[in-house]
Amino acid sequence: MAELKKTVPKRISPTDASIEPATQEMIARSQELGIETVFDRSVTMKPCAIGLQGICCKNCAMGPCRLPLPKGGIEGEDTRKGLCGATANTICARNFARMVAAGSAAHSDHGRGVAETFLSMAKGEATDYSIKDPDKLIQIAPFFGVETTVEVDGEVQDRDLKEIALEVGNAAVAEWGKPDGFLAYLKRAPKPLQEKWEKEGVMPRAIDREIVETMHRTAMGVDQDYVNLTKQSTRTSLADGWGGAMIGTDLQDVMFGSPSPLQAEANLGIMKKDHVNLIVHGHEPLLSEMIVAAAQSPEMIDLAKEKGAKGIQLGGICCTANEILQRHGVPPAGNFLQQELAIITGACDAMVVDVQCIFQNLANVAKCFHTKIITTHPIAKMEQDNVIHIEFDEHYAMEDAKRIVRMAVENFSNRGTDVVIPKHKTVQIAGFGVESIKYHLGGTFRGDYYTLNDNIINGRIRGIAGVVGCNNARTQHNNEHITLIKELIKNDVIVLTTGCSAIAAGTHGLLTPGTASVYCGPGLAEVCETVGIPPVLHLGSCVDNSRILLAATEVVKAGGLGDDICDLPAAGSAPEWMSEKAIAIGQYFVSSGVYTVFGYHMPLDGAPEFKNYLYNEMEKVYGGKWDCEADPIKHAQKMIAHIDKKRKELGIDKARDRVLMDMADRQALEV
């Protein structure tokens, strides 16, 4: 225990901070050791009241201009203006657009890294990578205009996979900067949705271009019409959801394998006292895939034994965790708010980070222990002097990964005596995707979405919810996720989850088939028990929200539930959101026709007109709209009300009444 301990004046009560016992234990432990965490800072630092309203503009040096809405609202004309005359609507819509751009940039730059590595692999340069799922490559190639067959002497033959990969790689990389046309993957959306986008003129062109244009349009003195600005927010977000993120997911699946359901553990209790504990944290699986392989190599395991450990325990935090969970069953040690706590166990020999959602405070916490913090990405370094930077280069991927694993192993013997690992861990089934839903919920004879649709039409499944997104230290850790999900499945709504929400669901034991009989309504329980799936399906990381878009599209295609995503009895949610990435995701869900409810708070209250545009007017254009509700039960009820409204519009509301009649009712009817 080093000299850097801090005495913290004000402490949060661990049970107020989180509903999760391992987290509570580790928060208490941090306080006992005098180490400050995000939880403590959430009580000592209040959020800025003006920023909360979304109407602080610092886009030029005549500001910052702040236009708070007076407590009782404004009667008559709203005369609030920045120095340049910008209205509250303009400022708020610009701030919102910039969040969308930043979030889209994060997902899509990750996607670009994947596409570039894919291309290097196809060229034979990044030799540690290969094609693990050729079927997916064949499936996506046509969207990029790449032929998968060739005619030789009048005979149709399969083309060479390497050739296909090279062309797909080139076409994919071009999506970020092509000079004309629209994004290739827009064609995957239901036709009516494509037509809406076209009519509105919001079809994204190149991914980078939309992000750049958002920065231009929101600069001082450019776009000053909140409706026009929000169109650009839509265009940019679609370039993420149906562009950068979707390409990222697909090419990761091609290179690392498409996930299929597997069993794993979850929570801080996966760390082991007698093992080297290596935690990978961040988002891009390019490096973590290699670390998984390196940590499993006999060379590294032998080295660990030589150093007195029984083996190497890998664990993940945030979306890197989801990436290696869904493909390899590597257990997540925690979600976003648990990152510091993994170090506070005293048993974390190294934490390797790449990009996004990484607390700078990790380095401060690590100073109190032996833990090595290793940054790996050229665009994400930390200023503290105890941080080691090992730059990852995909051309030497395995070599770099081994260097990192070796560093963790060699650090094992430096552990202090102050090791406290909470015992809590759960078992989960993760690794669902568009294909596995097809397989599991498919009919006996053909894997397809008909059975899912049938069960929605006959009312056993009331609807579909996508519950995604972060933790936020301004809300009680995991409480909103878990309360919301339980309320949804209790009401027969099947839940698709990703990101830190999925880790929360796994940590609280909701990702097992057994959950059905305990928490589900009778209809959903029956379906889950029949096919042997959990009522909450883990679909991966945050870029994998693209899987939810594609699953929704499959449901539309299977028929009987309308012609477009906005017709489905479905809703989206990010109950504990904090990242700009969540705003990008919300905007592409809404612009794809999904009613999307965020928890905690939205920075829109200072501009009621713009807020109304997002919460009501957008629906008239895209069929989806934004909403916000902090209380998780009310939040769930809003989603369910929307689902019921859609059931009614589809004329399938009566079917549900029949299913929900109990035995006695039915017998009475039969008599």
**Could you list the residues that contact ligand SF4 (CB under 6 A)?**
57-60, 62-65, 82-84, 86, 91, 220
Q: How far is the CB of 234 from ligand XCC (least distance, A)?
A: 20
Q: How far apart are the first and last CA of the chain?
A: 76
Q: For residues 329-358, which are near ligand XCC according to CB under 6 A?
A: 336, 357
> In whole angstroms, how far apart are CA 326 and each of 20, 132, 257, 338, 453?
23, 15, 10, 20, 25
Q: How far is the CB of 56 from ligand SF4 (least distance, A)?
A: 9
- In the chain, how long is the greatest CA-to-CA distance? 81
CB < 8 Å & 24+ apart, contacts of 69-73: 69/605, 69/606, 69/607, 69/608, 73/608
C-beta of residue 106 within 8 angstroms of C-beta of residue 236 = no
Q: How far is the CB of 373 from ligand XCC (least distance, A)?
A: 17
Q: How far is the CB of 80 from ligand SF4 (least distance, A)?
A: 10
User: Which is nearest to 241 in space by CA: 641, 548, 644, 579?
Assistant: 548
Beta carbon nearer to ligand XCC, 103 or 623: 103
| Residue 319 lies near ligand XCC (rule: CB under 6 A) | yes
| Residue 579 lies near ligand XCC (rule: CB under 6 A) | yes
Beta carbon nearer to ligand XCC, 80 or 281: 281
| Residue 318 lies near ligand XCC (rule: CB under 6 A) | yes
From the list ligand SF4, ligand XCC, none, which binds 199 (C-beta under 5 to 8 Å, kind-based)?
Answer: none
From the list ligand XCC, ligand SF4, none, which binds 65 (C-beta under 5 to 8 Å, kind-based)?
Answer: ligand SF4
User: Which is nearest to 82 in space by CA: 118, 44, 56?
Assistant: 56
Paired sense of beta strands 312-317 and 262-266, if any: unpaired
| Residue 38 lies near ligand XCC (rule: CB under 6 A) | no
CA angle, residues 51, 212, 196, in degrees to nearest 5 = 90
From the list ligand XCC, ligand SF4, none, which binds 357 (C-beta under 5 to 8 Å, kind-based)?
Answer: ligand XCC
Q: How far is the CB of 47 from ligand XCC (least distance, A)?
A: 17
Count, residues near ligand XCC per rule CB under 6 A: 12
From the list ligand XCC, ligand SF4, none, which binds 60 (C-beta under 5 to 8 Å, kind-based)?
Answer: ligand SF4
Q: Count the Cβ atoms, other than its own, within 10 Å of residue 489.
A: 27
Beta carbon nearer to ligand XCC, 69 or 318: 318
Q: Count the Cβ atoms, other than its own, within 10 Å of residue 235.
A: 26
From the list ligand XCC, ligand SF4, none, which binds 63 (C-beta under 5 to 8 Å, kind-based)?
Answer: ligand SF4
CA angle, residues 453, 459, 462, in degrees to nearest 5 = 85
From the list ligand SF4, ligand XCC, none, which binds 246 (C-beta under 5 to 8 Å, kind-based)?
Answer: none
d(CA 469, CA 315): 20
C-beta of residue 510 within 8 angstroms of C-beta of residue 516 = no
Helical spans, DSSP H, in 377-513 = 397-411, 434-440, 450-457, 479-490, 499-507
**Residues facing 18 on adjacent strands:** 477
Q: How far is the CB of 503 from ligand XCC (least distance, A)?
A: 8
Specify the residue for token string 């432990």. Answer: 29
Q: How far is the CB of 246 from ligand XCC (least distance, A)?
A: 15
d(CA 214, CA 463): 35
Structure token pair of residue 222 = 């450019």
Of positions 66, 370, 581, 635, contacts ligand XCC by CB under 6 A:
581
| Residue 589 lies near ligand XCC (rule: CB under 6 A) | no
Structure token pair of residue 617 = 């007017």
From the list ligand XCC, ligand SF4, none, which binds 232 (C-beta under 5 to 8 Å, kind-based)?
Answer: none
The 3-class secondary structure across 608-641, one letter per residue, is HHHHHHHHHHHHHHHCCCEEECCCHHHHHHHHHH
Amino acid at 442: G
Of positions 244, 463, 499, 572, contacts ligand XCC by CB under 6 A:
499
Q: For residues 123-142, which are near ligand XCC according to CB under 6 A?
A: none
> In whole angstroms, how far apart are CA 641 and each of 332, 571, 646, 656?
34, 10, 9, 14
Of positions 291, 457, 500, 566, contacts ligand XCC by CB under 6 A:
500
Beta carbon nearer to ligand XCC, 476 or 491: 476
From the list ligand XCC, ligand SF4, none, which binds 68 (C-beta under 5 to 8 Å, kind-based)?
Answer: none
Beta carbon nearer to ligand XCC, 322 or 455: 322
From the list ligand XCC, ligand SF4, none, which binds 84 (C-beta under 5 to 8 Å, kind-based)?
Answer: ligand SF4
Structure token pair of residue 177 = 């900067």
From the list ligand XCC, ligand SF4, none, which binds 45 (C-beta under 5 to 8 Å, kind-based)?
Answer: none
E strands in 9-154:
56-57, 65-66, 149-152
User: Which is nearest to 248 in space by CA: 529, 30, 540, 528?
Assistant: 540
From the list ligand SF4, ligand XCC, none, which binds 336 (C-beta under 5 to 8 Å, kind-based)?
Answer: ligand XCC
Q: How far is the CB of 498 from ligand XCC (least distance, A)?
A: 7
User: Which is nearest to 389 in space by CA: 369, 404, 367?
Assistant: 404
User: Which is nearest to 252 in space by CA: 401, 106, 380, 137?
Assistant: 137
The interface mask with ligand XCC, positions 213-232, x = CB under 6 A, is: --------------------
Specify the residue for token string 């231009």. Answer: 216
Q: For residues 155-194, which are near ligand XCC according to CB under 6 A?
A: none
Q: How far is the CB of 104 from ligand XCC (least distance, A)?
A: 13
Beta carbon nearer to ligand XCC, 230 or 579: 579
Q: For residues 533-562, which are near ligand XCC according to CB under 6 A?
A: 542
Q: How far is the CB of 322 from ligand XCC (least distance, A)?
A: 8
From the list ligand XCC, ligand SF4, none, which binds 62 (C-beta under 5 to 8 Å, kind-based)?
Answer: ligand SF4
Beta carbon nearer to ligand SF4, 217 or 635: 217
The interface mask with ligand XCC, positions 249-288, x = CB under 6 A, is: ----------------------------------x-----
Residues that bind ligand XCC (CB under 6 A): 283, 318-319, 336, 357, 469-470, 499-500, 542, 579, 581
